Amino acid sequence: MKIIIGCLILFLGLSSKAQVNRNLVKLSGHLKNFPNREWVRSDSEISDLQLPEADGERELIVDDSGYFSIQFNLTKANYYRIGSNALYLSPGDSMVLEIDYKSPLKATFRGMGSQANLYLKKTPFPQSGSYIDGGLNIKSTIKESIDYILLLSENRASELKAVKHLDKEFRKLETARIQADLINSFKYLAGVFIKNNKIQGAGVNDTLKEFNQFLQPLFKKNTSNFLNVDFLKLDAYRSNISRILYYNSQESAMKDKLIDWENANGIFSEMSKMNDRNAIKEFFPRIEKIQDSVYRSTLKESYYSMLKFGIGDLAHDFISRDINGKEISLNSFKGKLIVLDVWATWCVPCLQQMPYFDALREKYKDHPNIAFISLSIDDNKAKWSKKVLADQLKGTQLIIEKEKMKDYRISGIPRTIIIDENYKIFELFGPRPSDKELKAIIEQKISSLQRL
């Protein structure tokens, strides 16, 4: 009997260990042209309800030559991202990666899970307008542009069909991504076409009307019966959820689930832009109304984290670098009114704010107690350096990995942060440089400094 019991205990122990091993994801390889720190970043619908710090446990520790090795537990398959490369990871995956930040298409994947990730190399980026590719795929006429976008989506479908031995769920999701990227492309198409062709005046309305005639039927075709909560795993689907819900007016349990996520995402977006704790506390009753328990608990985690740091707190120090790579701490500006303009080279609204920030800097250049800091969160330092040098950007120009500023909740940019002369947070989400309110705040602070 003792022998039987001993064997049973050993069997249960081995089974438990095997279960853990089946959930383990192992990644190793080489990163090229990456910033100093990198993460295996979650790219799921849950990540849209979390602050950046939630990815901390999947930080890649890279040696001087760019090599890394990491393993972590995963209970179910989902999407992730390393740099510009989308990843699909499943429990038990074990891969060797070679990723160049500047050239996502050159990435190589070997081992368990590689087939799906090799296909994902060509995934369109939603923030670039998916198949529009930042305007590179816009043609000379409206019809040619639309036809080319449709052709690119058909080509992507053919590429997916040609890949063998793919997980059934992954194939279903990627088929949906092709459709979601098409919707996303239509959303941006008119605006990018107008910009590329420098259309002005009355021509803008005429162009929008013509686009509308072509695109409305295509929107309806591609959004109808496209309700599936599983598709929230796709960034292009999530970024177009309002339009998809709009074109599916019939009530259903699935639609209710999608609306629930949309409400949760709306709460997070609003809450993450709040300056002070009292404003954040007002969101708790709305969080309690979220039906999905995972969404609700994730929002609560973000809620309590946001309450830890805000207006009136001492600023948290961070280390950034100048154009020469010299380390600059926020602490080095202590005692001054610090006005931070957080931006990136890829952020069009940020670039539009630059002249206004430069004007403020110039206006108060002779005031010794104000520090105007342009702080880039570009992942690509070379692109940032090129922009600074080519445009001869003036003043204090610094760059930082945004994860080093996690307490400041850097998600959307442009962003203005104001730290007062006592090194306390005055505005966590301040007015933009173009807003007269920012100048009023500066004038107010100057007056108080002069009275000291």
pLDDT at 13: 52
395 exposure class (CB count in 10 Å sphere: 0-12, 13-18, 19+) = middle
100-156 per-position pLDDT tens digit:
988 999 999 999 999 999 999 999 989 888 999 989 999 999 999 999 999 999 999
Q: For residue 311, is it within any domain?
A: no
Q: For residue 97, is it within any domain?
A: yes
Cβ atoms of 290 and 264 within 8 Å: the answer is yes
Q: For residue 193, is it within any domain?
A: yes
Same domain, 441 and 407: yes
Cα atoms found within 13 Å of the Cα of residue 300, Cβ hemisphere only? 10
Q: For residue 18, is it within any domain?
A: no
pLDDT at 36: 64
Distance of CA 348 to the CA centre of its chain: 15
Same domain, 286 and 300: yes
pLDDT of 7 strictly over 80? no
pLDDT of 17 strictly over 50? no
Same domain, 154 and 40: no
- Boundary of a domain, candidates 249, 265, 286: 249
Same domain, 271 and 378: no
Q: Are strands 415-419 and 337-343 parallel, antiparallel or unpaired?
A: antiparallel
Q: For residue 388, is it within any domain?
A: yes
- Boundary of a domain, candidates 262, 277, 306: 306
Look up the CATH number of the domain holding residue 109: 2.60.40
Domain hosting residue 387, numbered range? 319-451
Look up the CATH number of the domain holding residue 334: 3.40.30.10
Least confident of 66-80, 237-251, 328-342, 367-381: 367-381
Q: What is the mean pLDDT of residues 298-314?
A: 91
Q: For residue 6, is it within any domain?
A: no
140-191 per-position pLDDT tens digit:
999 999 999 999 999 999 999 999 999 999 999 999 999 999 999 999 999 9
Same domain, 266 and 240: no
pLDDT of 4 strictly over 60? no
Same domain, 95 and 134: no
Higher pLDDT, 12 or 422: 422
pLDDT at 82: 93
Same domain, 236 and 189: yes
pLDDT at 401: 84
pLDDT of 262 strictly over 90? yes
Same domain, 290 and 370: no
User: Which amino acid, 443?
Assistant: E
Same domain, 414 and 325: yes
Confidence of residue 206 (pLDDT cuts 50, 70, 90): very high
pLDDT of 256 strictly over 90? yes
pLDDT at 411: 74
- Mean residue pLDDT of the chain comes to 90
pLDDT of 213 strictly over 90? yes
Cβ atoms of 145 and 139 within 8 Å: the answer is yes
pLDDT at 291: 97
Give the residue carrying structure tokens 């990871």: 89
pLDDT at 173: 98
209 exposure class (CB count in 10 Å sphere: 0-12, 13-18, 19+) = exposed
Same domain, 63 and 142: no
Q: What is the mean pLDDT of residues 389-393?
A: 90
pLDDT at 19: 47
CA distance 84 to 240: 21
Q: What is the mean pLDDT of residues 185-206?
A: 92
pLDDT of 35 strictly over 70? no
Q: For residue 66, is it within any domain?
A: yes
Confidence of residue 21 (pLDDT cuts 50, 70, 90): low
Cβ atoms of 375 and 320 within 8 Å: the answer is yes
pLDDT of 450 strictly over 80? no
Number of domains in the chain: 4
Q: For residue 313, is it within any domain?
A: no
Q: What is the 3-state secondary structure (H, E, C) of the chain?
A: CHHHHHHHHHHHHHHHHHHHHHCEEEEEEEEECCCCCEECEECCCCHHHCCHHHHHHHEECCCCCCEEEEEEECCCCEEEEECCEEEEECCCCEEEEEEECCCHHHCEEEEECHHHHHHHCCCCCHHHCHHHHHHCCCCCCHHHHHHHHHHHHHHHHHHHHHCCCCCHHHHHHHHHHHHHHHHHHHHHHHHHHHHHCCCCCHHHHHHHHHHHHHHHHHHHHHHCCCCCHHHHHCHHHHCCHHHHHHCCCCCCHHHHHHHHHHHHHHHHHHHCCCCCHHHHHCCHHHHHCCCCHHHHHHHHHHHHHHCCCCCCCECCCCEEECCCCCEEEHHHHCCCEEEEEEECCCCHHHHHHHHHHHHHHHHCCCCCCEEEEEEECCCCHHHHHHHHHHCCCCCEEEECCHHHHHHHCCCCCCEEEEECCCCEEEEEEECCCCCHHHHHHHHHHHHHHHHC
pLDDT of 6 strictly over 80? no
Confidence of residue 288 (pLDDT cuts 50, 70, 90): very high
Residue of 332, 322, 330, 280 whose CA lies nearest to 304: 280
CA distance 89 to 233: 12
pLDDT at 204: 94
CA distance 75 to 25: 10
Same domain, 299 and 324: no
Q: What is the mean pLDDT of residues 400-419?
A: 86
Percent of the chain topping pLDDT 70? 93
Residues forming beta bridges with residue 27, ordered by sequence position: 70, 95
pLDDT at 328: 94
Same domain, 42 and 147: no
